[in-house]
Amino acid sequence: MIYLDLLIGFLEVGLFSFGGAYAAIPLIREVVLAHGWMDEEIVAYMIAISESTPGPIMVNLATYVGSVKGGIPGALIATTAVVFPAFLIILLIMVLLKKALQNKYVKAALGGLKPCIIGIILSTGIWMIIRNCNISLNTKPDFLTNGLTCVLAAVYWGSRKIVKKGISPIMLICVSALVGVVAYGI
C-alpha cells in the first residue's frame, strides 16, 4: 500500500539523515528510486525545486513525493514521517538526557564537536559563495555575481555594524531576491 510505503520510507530518511539536508538528498533519492515511485529525471527536478523553495529541504522533498504519489493524505503522511524522528529525539534529549549532557565525558566530546561544527558551517558558506561566483581555474569568473555578493555582504554587515538592529536576515533575503530579478533580468 502506497501510504504505508511512504510512511516507512520517510521514517527511514528522517532517522538516518545525520548532518542536515545535503546528507539526506542521496538517501531520499535511493528510497524513491528503490520503490520505483519516480524516474531519475523527475527526482533530479524535484531536488532542484526543494533546494530553491523555502523550508527544510527534507520536508520539501517528503511533501513533494507524498503529494505526487498519494495526494493530500500522502503529503501529510510523508511529511509527518520525515519530521517525527527528529522531533522525538530532541524531546528525549530534553526530557531524559539532560543529566547525560552534564556528564564530564559527554561535555568533553561536545567541546570537540562545537569547533568542528563551526568549521563545517564556515566552509559550507565559503564554498557556496565560491560556487555561486563560479570561481575556478578553468572558467571565467561571473563578474556580476561577484559584484552583487560584495555589495550585499557589505550592506548586510555594514548596516549591522552601524545600527544595532541593522538589516535582518529575512530582509537580506527579500532584498537579494529583488536584486536577482532586476540584475539578472536585464
Q: How far is the CB of 41 from other proteins (least distance, A)?
A: 13
**Residues 25-44 close enough to bind other proteins by CB under 8 A:** none
Instruction: Indicate which single residue of 8, 44, 100, 173 sits in contact with other proteins (rule: CB under 8 A).
Output: 173
Nearest-angstrom CA–CA distance, 141 and 154: 20
What x/- string results for residues 54 through 93 when contact with other proteins is judged by CB under 8 A?
Answer: xxxxxxx--xx--xx---x--x---x--xx-xxx-xxx-x
Q: How crowded is residue 129: how many other Cβ atoms within 10 Å of its Cβ? A: 14
Nearest-angstrom CA–CA distance, 118 and 169: 19
User: Which conformational region is residue 39 in: left (phi greater than 0), alpha (psi within -120 to 50 degrees), or beta?
Assistant: beta
Q: How far is the CB of 137 from other proteins (least distance, A)?
A: 11
Instruction: Indicate which single residue of 16, 33, 103, 158 sits in contact with other proteins (rule: CB under 8 A).
Output: 16
185 binds other proteins (CB under 8 A): yes
Instruction: Indicate which single residue of 52, 102, 138, 139 sits in contact with other proteins (rule: CB under 8 A).
Output: 52
21 binds other proteins (CB under 8 A): yes
